[in-house]
Amino acid sequence: MSYPDPEFESPERRSARRGPLLVALAALVPGALLGWMVYEAVGGGGSGVSPRAGVPASAFSRTSAAASSPVRSVSAPSFASPGDDAKGAAGAGAGPLAGKVIVIDPGHNQGNFQHPAEINRQVDIGTNWKECDAIGTSTKAGYTEADFTLDVAHRLGALLERQGATVKLTRDGDTPPWGPCVTERAQIGNEAHADAAISIHADDSAEGDRGFHVILPGTVHAGAADTRPIVGPSRDLGARVAGFFLRETREPPSNYVGEGTGLVTRTDLGGLNLSTVPKVFIECGNMRDSKDSALLAHGAWRQKAAQGLFEGIADFLNR
Q: Provide the pLDDT confidence category of residue 288 given band limits of 50, 70 and 90.
A: very high
Cα separations in angstroms, 34 against 20, 58, 62, 247, 249: 11, 13, 17, 12, 16
Query: CA distances (Å), 204 to each of 3, 115, 144, 173, 201, in order?
Result: 7, 21, 11, 22, 10
Q: Supply the pLDDT for residue 75.
A: 56
pLDDT recorded at residue 113: 96
Whether the pLDDT of residue 200 is over 90: the answer is yes
Confidence band (pLDDT; 50, 70, 90) for 23? very low
Contacts of 138 (CB under 8 A, 6+ apart): 144, 145, 287
Mean pLDDT for 223-228 is 96
Closest by CA to 152, choosing from 310, 316, 319, 311, is 310
Q: Which of 161, 259, 283, 311 is catalytic?
A: 283
For each of the domains in the chain, give its residue range(s) and CATH number, in order of start.
17-317 (3.40.630.40)
pLDDT digits (tens, 9 = 90+) for 139-176: 999 999 999 999 999 999 999 999 999 999 999 988 99
**184 has catalytic annotation:** no
Segment 247-257, tens digit of pLDDT:
999 999 999 99
Mean pLDDT value across residues 201-227: 98
> 3-state DSSP: the chain helix, strand, coil percent, rounded to 5?
35, 15, 50
Beta strands 221-222; 225-226: pairing state: antiparallel
CA neighbours within 13 Å on the CB side: how many for 160?
A: 35
DSSP 104-139: EEE-S-TTGGG-HHHHTSEEE-SSSEEES-----B-
H helix or E strand, kind and range, residue 188: helix 182-191
**pLDDT score at 183:** 98
Among 261, 248, 34, which Cα is nearest to 156's? 248
CA distance 288 to 119: 23
pLDDT, tens digit, 9 for 90 and up, residues 34-79: 344 433 433 333 333 333 333 443 333 333 333 333 333 455 665 5
Average pLDDT estimate for 297-307? 98
pLDDT of residue 94: 82
- 27 falls in which pLDDT band (50, 70, 90)? very low
